[in-house]
Amino acid sequence: MNLHIPRDTQARHLAFAFGSRPNPSPNPQPKPKPKKAKPALCVHIGWHAHKAVSGCLTMAQRGQFAAADWGVEWGEATPLAGCLALRGANPMRLTHSQSVNYGKAWRLANCQSASSLLVRQLRVCQSGQSNHAVWLENCAAAWQSGIGSLKSCAQTFTTRAEFLGRCNRADYSGKAVSGCLALKIGTVIPTPCEWYTVEIPEPPPPLPKRCNRLDARRLPFALDRPRAARSVSRMLPFPFACRRPRAVIPNLDSYIMLNKIQAYAGSLKLNPISIAVSHDRQGYYWTCEVELSPDDFAALNLAQYDQGKEPLITLNINEATFTFIAESYRDNRAFARRSYTVSGRSQTARLGADYAQLQQGMVTQAMYARQIADSVLENTGFRIGTWGIPDWLVPARVYSLADKTPIAVLADIAQAAGGFVYSDPAERILHIKPRYKVPAWQLARATPDVAIPASVITQISGQKQISTQCYGVFVSATHNKGVFRKIIRKASAGSPEASALSHALYTADEPCLAAGIAALGDTGASKTEQIELPVMEKYALDIAQLGNIWQVSEPNGAWMGIVDSVSIHVTLENDAPKIMQSVGVWRYLGE
């Protein structure tokens, strides 16, 4: 750009022409009469503090200032050359085919190229590079750092923006994407990837129990003598007891027993030759067998009953009562002797697969484990008696009842919490008991339910089992609504570990802790003792109760164990009934 200023131009008006300066002629010609020269294709140039430039293609001619026809009002501006490319700092508005709205610009339209730092709106552009945009439309390419919504896009890679429409490509990663070719996303589900260590606590000290109201006609006077010092005859202790003291079987040289046996089938009285009943912690019913004479068997007439309508036989063995279903029989033939043995199970067998219908569906609402057990017993005539395991909340739709009988549901709940199902021998009652009243390794310090002296034991035999001693076990649910815990013995490293346990009912710490105690109690060395002894209610030796803790005294010392099974045998000896029980007691020999 050359600037030529004639000498006769006044100081207040400067002629400004775009173009190259011609070479001076060696022979200057006389000055022609001055004429007004107009720039080609220029209508007006007005420039003052970045106001406007419009309608120009090029300015390459010289000219002089004529205020009426053309001119330049020059304030503060940066040199501008042509309209095809334009770069500046803060222009306000450029319009039409070859112009640019620029600066802190609000609108760019029909432009070939634009480069800006802060652009709010771009339309019909070949290329645009911006850091922050609100709306891009009909663009060939756009790179955005803040976009909120994309529509009808083939591929997206960006961080955040608000709206992009009809784009071929955009860099995107944002919240909402609609109308795109590929979109793979899902709901994040928390997984039980964490586990917490739960130590098995030590048993709390026994707390004094509240006294029930005493019968004024039978006040207990428990005589006792302190072991530390000899009692003075003038100060005999007469403590009042508000509860029945623990029964103590006396250690005598001989015992006198008077047994009484009765059997009924409805109103029909039977005279049994022998009786055998049994139960263990692995089953949920008592099994019974009664040997009858041919006359009693014929009077019973089992052939007239259909399946499911069999008669009930009630047995009274001293103070204990057993009721069982007469399900089957067998005949016994010997020389000059013939008899029939009727066998069956207690009434809780009606809840098993042989009689009960299978459950269907799933627990559709949050319920406690006890509530689930009660619900499956509705309209069956059975009920829950003692609930000795923890009770915990089970969320909705995690526990299925499909293809399970009512007793299978009860056994499943009991097993999940380290318990077992115990059937009442006479009534339609089920008891849920813990397999271990105290952890197996704490049996030596537990308070026994029954103390058995060596004088009442007629025979004892044992079998030892060896397994790996474990100190920890993982307990986890089979769904994402449960818990994942590691149960360890107190003051141990928690290893070696027993086989992991998993169940749909592990939704709280209480069943996990109970299941862990049972699983760790089954590890290590143990011994099963089979003890033969009589049933003598007179001397406080009743029929053994499953799950009770027995203290057995032998010549080489006393030991503690848990009653695992019991079998009662009634026979006739010199025409007098003899009642013996064979009790399986489980002992813990581990560390």
User: Does residue 137 register a pLDDT over 60?
Assistant: no
- 87 vs 95: CA distance, rounded Å: 15
State the pairing for strand pair 450-452/472-477.
unpaired
SS3 for 190?
A: coil
Domain segments of the chain as ranges: 261-280+287-345, 351-434, 437-465+525-591
* Residue range 341-349: mean pLDDT, rounded: 95
Judge contact between 131 and 145, C-beta under 8 A: yes
Token pair 């099994």 is at which residue? 287
Angle at 190 between CA 186 and CA 191, to 5 degrees: 115
Q: pLDDT of 464-491, one tens digit each?
A: 999 999 999 999 999 999 999 999 998 8
Counting residues of the chain whose pLDDT is more than 90, the rounded percentage is 48
pLDDT of residue 136: 47
CATH fold label, 351-434: Phage tail protein beta-alpha-beta fold (3.55.50)
- 419 vs 413: CA distance, rounded Å: 8
- 41 vs 56: CA distance, rounded Å: 7
| Tally of residues, the chain | 591
129 token code pair: 């590079």
Which of the four pLDDT bands, split at 50, 70 and 90, describes residue 248? confident
Which of the four pLDDT bands, split at 50, 70 and 90, describes residue 432? very high
Which of the four pLDDT bands, split at 50, 70 and 90, describes residue 249? confident
SS3 for 374?
A: helix
pLDDT of residue 81: 41
Closest CA relative to residue 314, chosen from 339, 284, 346: 346
Q: In this structure, how many other beta carbons lie within 10 angstroms of the beta carbon of residue 447?
A: 12
User: Does residue 538 register a pLDDT over 70?
Assistant: yes
Q: In this structure, how many other beta carbons lie within 10 angstroms of the beta carbon of residue 199?
A: 15
Phi-psi region of 452 (alpha: psi -120 to 50; beta: other; left: phi over 0): beta
State the pairing for strand pair 383-387/429-434.
parallel
127 token code pair: 């290329």
Q: Which of 129-138, 162-171, 437-446 has the highest mean pLDDT?
A: 437-446
pLDDT of residue 299: 93
Q: pLDDT of 262-291, one tens digit each?
A: 999 989 999 999 999 999 999 999 999 999
- DSSP letters, 286-324, are -EEEEEE-HHHHHHH-GGGPPTT-PPEEEEEETTEEEEE
pLDDT of residue 513: 94
Q: pLDDT of 503-535, one tens digit each?
A: 999 999 999 999 999 999 999 999 999 999 999
Rg (CA), the chain: 50
Token pair 């474990």 is at which residue? 470
Token pair 């095809």 is at which residue? 84
Helix (H) or strand (E) holding 376: helix 369-376
Judge contact between 326 and 311, C-beta under 8 A: yes
Q: pLDDT of 366-383, one tens digit each?
A: 999 999 999 999 999 999
pLDDT of residue 213: 67
* Residue range 86-97: mean pLDDT, rounded: 42
SS3 for 515?
A: helix
* Residue range 158-171: mean pLDDT, rounded: 49
Measured in whole angstroms, the distance separating CA 162 from the mean position of its chain's CA atoms is 40
- 342 vs 302: CA distance, rounded Å: 9
Strand order in the sheet with 383-387: 383-387, 429-434, 419-423
For residue 2, what are the CA distances in angstroms to 18, 34, 59?
7, 21, 12
Strand order in the sheet with 196-200: 196-200, 484-489, 472-477, 501-503
pLDDT of residue 43: 45
pLDDT of residue 44: 46
Measured in whole angstroms, the distance separating CA 264 from the mean position of its chain's CA atoms is 51
- 409 vs 373: CA distance, rounded Å: 7
- 11 vs 376: CA distance, rounded Å: 111
Q: What is the CATH number that goes with domain 437-465+525-591?
A: 2.30.300.10
DSSP state of 517: H
